Amino acid sequence: MVRVILRRLIQLAVTLIVLMTLVFFWLRSLPGGPVDALLGERATPQTRELLTRALGYDQPIWVQYGRFLENVVTGNFGNSIRTGEPVMDVISRSFPATIELALAAIIIAVGLGIPLGYLAARHRGRVLDNATIIVTLIGISIPIFFLGYLLKDWLTQSVHLFPPSGRISTGLGNTDVTGFFVLDGLLTRELDASADALWHLVLPAFTLATIPLAIIIRITRASVLDVLDEDYIRTADAKGLRGPTIRRRHVLRNALLPVVTTIGLQTGALLAGAVLTEKVYNWGGLGTLITDSIGGSRDYPVLQALILLAAVVFIVVNLLVDLSYAIIDPRVRVK
Amino acid sequence: MPLLDVRDLSVVFQRKGTAPVKAVDGVSFTVEPGQTVGLVGESGCGKSVTSLAIMGLLPRRGNKVTGEVMFEETDLLTLRPQELRDRRGRDIGMIFQDPLSSLNPVIPLGVQVAEVLERHQGRTRQAALKQARELLDAVGIPDPARRLKEFPHQLSGGMRQRALIAIALACKPRLLIADEPTTALDVTIQAQILTLLKELVDDSGTALVMITHDLGVVAGLCDTVNVLYAGKVVERAGRHQLFREPRHPYTDGLLQSVPRLDVDRGGRLHQIRGSVSDNIPWPEGCAFAPRCDRVIDDCIGDTVPLEPTRAGALRCTNPVPREVPV
């Protein structure tokens, strides 16, 4: 097991080196650049040259690349072009917000998706099942930003059920411990702050969860139907086991395998969706940071670090998925 | 009184948009306590469906089961699903064809044996596991304490089938149904499993319904044999009677098709001509008629009835003549 994890970590390192290189050259091949973005179109050639030199973009590309690698290895991603702060500071400020949102979305998607998928499978071909198929199809098809604005407009403007934007009401949650507002409130015993942060979290998390939720429902349904046809379920029936025992012990665990894989694969969709969701609800996490860093300033250092971070998150989540696979299925355990 | 009395059992599969298929067509047979009864026939003759219908294990939708399945004094077909669950695994055990796919891949073997004891004998997990170890030992699995913690993929094919037998016999059922229990195993293991089954049913007095296409299995194990063709019993006889003097041309053809060691190797094996797809529907005559060497005009027209004979029963208009001792 330890060797497997080690091997995967080495793979992770190799993937990151390749990705870093790609990202570095890909960003620089985009039209425009930090200099244009910061100075605008009417700047004089002198000013432009000055800034180019100040930022080090007058150096040959290989020198820039070498410096970038050096920075990554030392864990220092340089300073943000936009704000001048160290990149790590900028990112660590936004990171908890996105993780909080993404975790809430995963909890919703898994917590609702598996039971609903199971229920649909048990009602195969009947009204509930058909309704599930239609609703999940809509859930998969509807764009996040569209659903986001729709829910926001309806549930915060027409019906004042949820707060329209932000992570917490002003005046609450002033103690910053971890940056996860719901958790901070619990840690500092400011339960009103926790509740308020949770209330702010509901709509964005649900918006972000729709696509993974719909997919998990579908996969669970299909997977349960597959398992119900297996010979070992017939054996369990032949033993005279009670329905709940068969479902809990024999069906669910086998049916979970494809679902777990799906959860890992959905991490990517979740990261992409977070960008849109954060925009809609003015969330102020990594998604907001990434749009700001592309649009306003072509903030190369921040963008490079963000993309690498996304890759690390994706790879680590999938490593965890593989490890949990080994827990669920003895056949993939390595000796 | 017979232990199991199957009367006029029929199973019709019906799916939306397709014509109904009669997989089992008025099958009747009895099993006395402690007796071993064979259901023999080729693929698609309805033997497995018969066993699943007896156990109530057919899919809930898309089929219609009629007739009676009397187990002692209860008609299993009229029981509510819950009542049937109470009896499955306790009164009737069943073993299946493919031991690998019939065991749950993600549950340790011990639990898979123990859970049937927990269910029907109210054992705690601990007590059930202890008993499971004895059961695995009894079916000849070496080092049972270690095997309890292992998973099906870590066992050999023969051991998996032994484990399934242990599960089916755990609660000492009065009837065991074995659906092609040796088909997925290689020949040497087949012989071991059959010997084991024979020992276990002899020792425990369990009645056995043996479903097979393998006449060798029948010869070694069964007291009475029912030959099925196209969903109907076509011949029933004691084992010795059937092998010595098959009356139905289909049974005769099957027996002649068995490779023998005492004829010259170069010759072609006997085969029954045509295939199941040549069958005619039973109401129009004998389903086997288009493939039969002894077909006569009377074979076509009406359903041929199953007539009792001295040895058992026979459904044939022009049976193979008895050998008259000279």
Q: What is the mean pLDDT of each run of 10 residues along chain A (335 residues)?
A: 82 87 86 77 82 83 87 82 86 89 94 95 91 92 89 83 78 70 78 84 93 95 95 95 93 92 87 89 87 80 88 86 85 68
Look up the CATH number of the domain holding residue B124.
Answer: 3.40.50.300
**What number is the average pLDDT over the span B265-269?**
75
Strand order in the sheet with B92-95: B92-95, B175-179, B207-212, B36-40, B224-229, B232-238, B313-314, B307-308
Model's pTM, two decimal places? 0.83
Quote the domain boundaries for residue A275: 96-332
B305 contact A CB<8A: no
Name the minimum distance, in Å, from the CA of B150 to any CA of chain A.
Answer: 9
- B176, B204, B229 — which closes off a domain? B229
Which has the closest alpha carbon to A88: A100, A102, A71, A103? A71
Question: Complex ipTM, two decimals?
Answer: 0.89
Coil, helix or strand at residue B6? strand
Task: Name the E strands within chain B.
Answer: 4-13, 21-31, 36-40, 63-71, 74-75, 92-95, 175-179, 207-212, 224-229, 232-238, 307-308, 313-314
* CB atoms B88 and A330 under 8 Å: no
Cα B120 to Cα B123: distance, rounded to the nearest angstrom: 8
Same domain membership, residue B193 and residue B285: no
Cα B293 to Cα B289: distance, rounded to the nearest angstrom: 8
Q: Is A177 within the bounds of a domain?
A: yes
B103 contact A CB<8A: yes
B98/A55: higher pLDDT: B98
Q: Is B46 within the bounds of a domain?
A: yes
Q: Is B234 within the bounds of a domain?
A: no
How many CB pairs below 8 A link A and B?
Answer: 75
* Distances A215 to A261, A321, B64 between C-alpha atoms, Å: 12, 17, 36
CB atoms within 10 A of CB B153: 13
Of B87, B101, B168, the CB nearest to A230: B101
Of A240, A241, A330, the CB nearest to B87: A240
Q: Which residues of B touch A242 (CB under 8 A)?
A: 85, 119
Q: What's the mean pLDDT when you consider all of chain B?
A: 91
Look up the CATH number of the domain holding residue A213.
Answer: 1.10.3720.10
The 10s digit of each residue's pLDDT in A241-298 is: 999 999 999 999 899 999 998 988 888 888 889 989 998 888 888 888 888 888 767 8
CA B41, chain centre distance (Å): 10
- Residue A283 has a pLDDT of 87
Q: Is A37 within the bounds of a domain?
A: no
Total residue count of chain A as it appears in this document:
335
- Residue A209 has a pLDDT of 94
* CB atoms A234 and B153 under 8 Å: no
- Classify A84 in phi/psi space as left (phi over 0), alpha (psi -120 to 50) or beta: left
Q: Is B321 within the bounds of a domain?
A: no
Coil, helix or strand at residue B262? coil
- pLDDT above 90 coverage of chain B, percent: 67
- B229, B248, B275 — which closes off a domain? B229
The 10s digit of each residue's pLDDT in A34-60 is: 787 777 777 788 888 888 888 888 888
Nearest residue on chain B to A331, alpha-carbon basis? B153
* CB atoms B57 and A240 under 8 Å: no
Q: How many domains does chain B have?
A: 2
B274/B133: higher pLDDT: B133
B104 contact A CB<8A: yes
